[in-house]
Structure 1
Amino acid sequence: MKIKKLVVGMALIVILIFVIMEFTDTIPLNKDDHKINSTQINKSSNSNWNDVVSQKISLDDFIATLTLEEKVGQLLMPDFREWNDIPVASLNDEIESEIQNKHIGGVILFAENFKNKAQTTHLISSMQEQAEIPLMISVDQEGGLVTRIPFMPSMPGNMALGATNDPTLAKEVGIGIGSELRSLGIHVNFGPVLDVNNNPNNPVIGVRAFGDDPNTVIKLGHAYMEGLNEAGVLAVGKHFPGHGDVSLDSHFVLPESNKTINDLQKLELVPFKSLIESGIQGIMTAHIAFHKIEPETVKSKKDGLPIELPATLSPKIITDILRIDLSFQGLIFTDAMDMKAVANHFGTAEASILAVEAGVDIVLMPENLQHAFDGIVDAVKTGRIEEERIDESVKRILQVKSSTLFQESTEFTKLSTKEIVELEQRVANASITIVSGDQILPLDETSEEKIALVAFDRQSLTRLTNATKKYQWRNEPILLSKSKNWSGKLSNDQLKKIKEAKTVIVATNTANEEDLSKNGWKMGAVQSIIDIGKQSIIVSTRNPYDSRTLENYDAYIAQYDTGTASFNAALDVLFGKKQAQGVLPVRVNE
């Protein structure tokens, strides 16, 4: 009996040792092994998503397998511009955790994220490795004033395209921008801008718009969208229901509009309606309060006073007008939720909840990612938001992610970098507009007389000087600044240089009502130059409305952009090497 028990005991010991040996084979020996196993687990959990792409399971069945937290994460698109005040050019452990633990659906990139092509593609692929469902990578690469990627041509911008009035060029620009984005792994471009810039004092749109005629916006916006799509990039029209007729900047305050729905239908909504009918994939909202359309108010977290709901948070505007009246079935993105128009008054959690309640699909750049995530999750758990409402947005998002847009094997139209650089110059050449004074042109490049060159910033002054040197080396650069010219008058040394010149070329750069004011330092200083009596040529490098303020200049040229290509094109026109082809896309003297 004792022998039998001993044999049984020994047998159990042998079995136990065998089990322990088998188990220890799966235990990582060090931290690196643990990381490898974690990566393998993440990739293996991707198998269901791959089944969606290969159509082995339906999208509805896949969504049914997701937790609430996984679904809410798909609605969030944060930025990682800086981490601990350091630009994010590569991932760190904290960002990896944010992507994994909050199951975020996408990321928007900014200039801080771009150093060169190799670094950018590595950053994006590193982000994708952290996600069980592919991330939707986006960027604001409109062209012109709003560009994020420093190592690709920026293009002269939308108002320059408006001056060309050429949809073929607009489509080529869309293809050029789109093919560069596609090569980096970026899926979404927040463009075209569909705002009709019918307010000269608009501080935030201006040259970002194609013009002040909705038909021009439709024609060029449609072509730009087609170009992006042909290059394999999703287009997002903005800023719904229209940001063109305000005089305040929603980055800092909440603008208000007195327009009714009938007013919007006659102008602002016209381009959106047209491009929705043409199948645009995304729409971005505007942080503007339209109190005659959405009268609901809430208590501001800033001062406790009643504050109107901006379009971004308005069910009447997002669901009733955009979804129902205009029958838009694509993705609705908020504008950046860290902009003060929203962040100052609503708080991250409440703003995110209100946006989802209004009908938004993707909450872009919440000021506090944790608060946005927790806020939406809690709103569903407490019954404030139905989970079916979350499912609606998740399905729209995942339909895009399962499309050919996200499949690397898909072939799209692509331009080379050389072709894009050439395109940038072609657009600039076609955009330069002589508004007045063509009788004094061309300038004489054989003249021994000095030319004074004036600008408001050093970069523009350098580019103006370099473009002029091709024709006239006897030039005198003069930098105007608020600190030196705050009174609208010239310093003694500036006055001396201008008096010694025969001709003065002034590159103006105005963006808002203050810039355009006769009592402001910019227009005051420029008028002081004109009043000296030299031959004066104004070259507007941004909004072409300076002619409303300035008097008695000899010629006025609009170039719409501060890029090197645009300065080269403008000086080619001034010295008669090229004919000005552009036509003003906005009314400047009304």
Structure 2
Amino acid sequence: MIPKHISAVILSLFISCTAFAQRQSFIETVTKQNQWVDSVYRKMSRKERIGQLFYVRAHTNKGKAYEDSVAKVIEEEHIGGLVFFQGGPVRHANLINNYQKVSKVPLLIAMDGEWGLGMRLDSSVSYPYQMTLGAIQDNNLIYKMGQMVAYDFKRLGMHINFAPDMDINNNPNNPVINYRSFGDNKYNVAQKGISYFKGMQDAGVIVFAKHFPGHGDTNVDSHFDLPQLPFTRGRLDSLEEYPFREAIAAGVSGVMIAHLNIPSLDTTKNLPSTLSRPIVTGILKDSLGFKGIVASDAMEMKGVTKFFPKGEADLRAFLAGNDLIELSENSAVSAKLILKAIRRGKITREEFEAKIKKLLAAKYWAGLNQYKPTTPYGILGDINRPASAELIQQLCDAAITVVKGNATTLRQDPLKKTAIISIGVDRPTVFETELSKWYPNSMVYLINKNTPLAQIRQMLASLKKFDQTFVSIHDTRTRPQSKLDYSSDVKMLIAELAAKPNVVTSVFANPYTIAGLPGIEKSAGLLVGYQKDDAMQRSAVKVITGVMKPSGKLPVTINTFFTTGMGMRF
């Protein structure tokens, strides 16, 4: 491990870099003439300039042969950057350094980190999901999270976060956005998204609001097929596009285009919005006046390749107005198609030059004109620092939401016989461990998601000797969906428990799961904890025991009982 005093120096240097980045406007940087950009552009061949458009996939969990194949693409195709996926933080930092050595022009390194490095990497911190952040009333906390995430990215040698997700999730069954959204209220989504991206951008990271013009009201995952938005131009303009319009006004550096078929905006059959010039250039660039970087969503997704295979999708994305082509299926083939299109005059020389210079200006803004490799020493300690854990707890404390009950109802009587039941787990939870400290006369029960009916009945019979009950519901899956994967018997148990007197229920799962638990609204007290994390369980205990007052508000409508904006304060 690196000595603490050296680690402190590294942290200080990164803070200094952050202060420098805060003095610059990204949009001004990419739209003004730049001597470094002009110099690099002049020295490039046309092939090298086209290469700058492409950002290809990189991993550190696929072995050396895979890593070497990426290095070959960097050398031969002169690509503009990489998008890193699964692996480990130290391995990522080392490989990024190696890849930068073989690139003629420094690479921009990107990753999807909507909740931080932990979205992709092991041994890394994960901040709360955006749905959880949507419940928070103090947006300054979200700004601070953005700064923390940016620090972690820069510490590994990365420059782009494909975040935040600024889709309005007004479809509870959305299979791909859902908990990745700040909620179903367009004003809340816009405010939270701006706070988050400003935190990152002020700390020197390039950000992308996604997925324009809005992926929130879909029931198809564009990774596997092409969703359609059947809405009118007026509806899209007033609802889906609202957060993006606000983000542009607030100076967002990038916007990512969704793979959506939108007949009201472009009538071309089976055409994804990514490949539509009326949408990318006509609406985003011309009507909304966006001057930053426009990136395609991943071009390997079935939502775009299903109808436009073999490089055709990349070519159309380029001609539509995208500046950055992410995760091409075959960048070498696509580059040749783009070269032909340029020679045939399908794009003006001025427009092509502006694209490439915009991408080079982003490299300048990120400090790549004076590139220095990152040091791998001390990375794990730096990105898992105590300040991160403290902020995560603050975020969870601010998000925990009481939708039914008051201080007396939740607290119950600490001296009475108390049952504490954790459902959906097969080992003790932080919630029951912490709560049992406040209730000395308590007994703990565990019910997993498939506990047999006979065992459930046995537990119910034993509850007759208790005066009050605390129930916690846990979704232990990595990605929390809208419906719990519990057996019907376990779901019936939740309804039976809720119907009993003096029962307080806490849900550590996607808030939409409450709609699939009929009868849970009968609980004397009901807390929404949004996700399974230990910090959120501690927050619930704080509210129940009166240590902390709740301030969170529902970011989505669950059903007729629990609607957007609900949240008790006492």
For 2:132, the equivalent position in structure 1 comes to 160
CA distance in 2, matches of 1:182, 1:498: 53
Q: How does 1:213-228 map to 2 (within 5 A)?
A: 213-228=185-200
1:352 pairs with one of 306, 314, 333: 314
Check conservation: 2:58, 2:67, Cα contact below 8 A.
no
Indicate the structure (1 or 2) with the bigger Cα radius of gyration: 1
2:394 match: 426
Q: Which stretch of the first structure deviates more once superposed, 430-439 or 226-235?
A: 430-439
The one-letter amino acid paired with 2:298 is A
Which residue matches 2:212? 240
Superposed displacement of residue 119, structure 1: 2.9
| 2:137–2:398 Cα contact (<8 Å) kept | no
What's the offset of the Cα at 1:122? 1.3
The alpha-carbon distance between structure 1 residues 464 and 215, as it changes in their structure 2 partners (threshold 3 A), is same
Q: Which residue of 2 aligns with 1:18?
A: none
- Structure 2 CA distance for aligned equivalents of residues 158 and 223 of structure 1: 12
Partner of 2:538: 568
Q: Does 1:177 align with 2:145?
A: no
Q: Deviations over 1:122-176 (max 9, x none)?
A: 1211111111111111111111898223333211122222211211111111111
- After superposing the two structures, state which structure 1 stretch, 522-531 or 423-432, moved more: 522-531
One-letter code aligned to 1:394: I
Q: Report the AA paired with residue 285 of structure 1.
A: I
Shift of 1:405: 4.2
Counterpart amino acid of residue 96 in structure 1: A
- The TM-score normalised by the length of structure 2 is 0.80
The aligned amino acid for 2:518 is E
Secondary structure at the residue paired with 1:262?
helix
Helix, strand or coil at the partner of 1:434: strand
Answer whether contact 1:202 1:512 (CA < 8 A) is retained.
no
Aligned to 1:33: none
Please point out which of 66, 69, 79 is paired with 1:104.
79
Q: Aligned partners of 1:581, 1:447: CA distance in 2, in Å?
A: 28
- Cα distance in 2 between the residues matched to 1:161 and 1:324: 32
After superposition, residues 169-568 of structure 1 pair within 5 angstroms as 169-297=141-269, 308-381=270-343, 384-385=346-347, 388-406=350-368, 407=370, 417-438=385-406, 440-443=409-412, 448-455=417-424, 462=429, 464=431, 467-468=434-435, 470-471=437-438, 474-481=443-450, 490-501=452-463, 503=469, 505-507=471-473, 509=475, 515=483, 525-531=490-496, 534=500, 537-553=504-520, 554=523, 555-568=525-538
Could you tell me how far apart the structure 2 residues matched to 1:539 and 1:158 are? 20
SS in 1 for 2:306: helix
Moved more, 95-104 or 437-446: 437-446
Q: How many Å apart are 1:333 and its aligned residue? A: 1.0
What SS does the aligned partner of 1:221 have?
helix
2:533 and 2:482 mapped to 1: Cα distance? 24
Q: Distance in 1 between matches of 2:489 and 2:306?
A: 34
* Partners of 2:483 and 2:516 within 8 A in 1: no
Residue matched to 1:31: none
Structure-to-structure mapping, 1:58-137, within 5 angstroms: 59-60=37-38, 62-81=40-59, 87=62, 92-110=67-85, 112-114=86-88, 116=89, 118-137=90-109
Contact 2:420 2:432 survives alignment (8 Å): no
Distance 1:547 1:404, change over 3 A: closer
* Runs of 5+ consecutive residues of structure 2 not aligned to the other structure: 1-32, 373-381, 561-570
Note if contact 1:464-1:567 (Cα within 8 Å) is conserved in structure 2. Answer: yes
CA distance in 1, matches of 2:433, 2:110: 35
Separation in 1 of the partners of 2:268 and 2:121?
40
Confirm or deny: 8 A CA contact 2:482 2:513 kept in the other structure. no
Equivalent residue number for residue 17 of structure 1: none
Contact 1:290 1:311 in 2 (8 A): yes
Q: Write the distance in 1 (CA, Å) between the matches of 2:537 and 2:159.
A: 32
Q: Secondary structure at the match of 2:135?
A: helix
What's the secondary structure of 1:87's corresponding residue? coil
Distance 1:103 1:443, change over 3 A: farther
Give distance in 2, aligned partners of 1:498 and 1:338.
51
Cα distance in 1, alignment partners of residues 219 and 438 from structure 2:
40
1:8-47 CA distances to partner (integer Å, 9 max, x unpaired)? xxxxxxxxxxxxxxxxxxxxxxxxxxxxxxxxxxxxxxxx
Distance 1:394 1:441, change over 3 A: same
The SS at the match of 1:79 is: strand
Deviations 1:428-460 (A, max 9, x none): 0111001124463125555554422112x669x
TM-score normalized by the length of structure 1? 0.77
Equivalent residue of 1:137, what SS?
strand
Contact 1:91 1:126 in 2 (8 A): no
Partner Cα separation in structure 1 for residue 36 and residue 92 of structure 2: 33
Determine the structure 2 residue equivalent to 1:583.
553
Equivalent-residue separation in structure 2 for 1:294 and 1:282 (angstroms):
22
Instruction: Measure how far apart 1:209 and its partner are.
Output: 1.8
RMSD: 3.2
1:181: how far off? 1.0
Distance 1:186 1:362 in 2: 16
Matching residue within 138, 141, 145 for 2:113: 141
Amino acid at match of 1:558: V
Indicate the percent of aligned positions where both proteins have the same amino acid: 31
1:174-233 Cα offsets, whole Å, 9 max, x none, are 111111111111111111221122222222222222222222122222221221022211
**Which amino acid letter does the alignment assign opposite residue 253 of structure 2?**
Q
Q: Is the 8 A contact 2:147 2:200 kept in 1?
A: yes
Inter-partner Cα distance in structure 2 for 1:134 and 1:514: 42
CA distance in 2, matches of 1:197, 1:415: 30
Q: Give distance in 1, aligned partners of 2:116 and 2:530.
A: 8
Letter in 2 for 1:587: T
Alpha-carbon offset, residue 551 of structure 1? 3.1
Task: Give 3-state SS (helix, strand or coil) of 2:208's partner.
Answer: strand
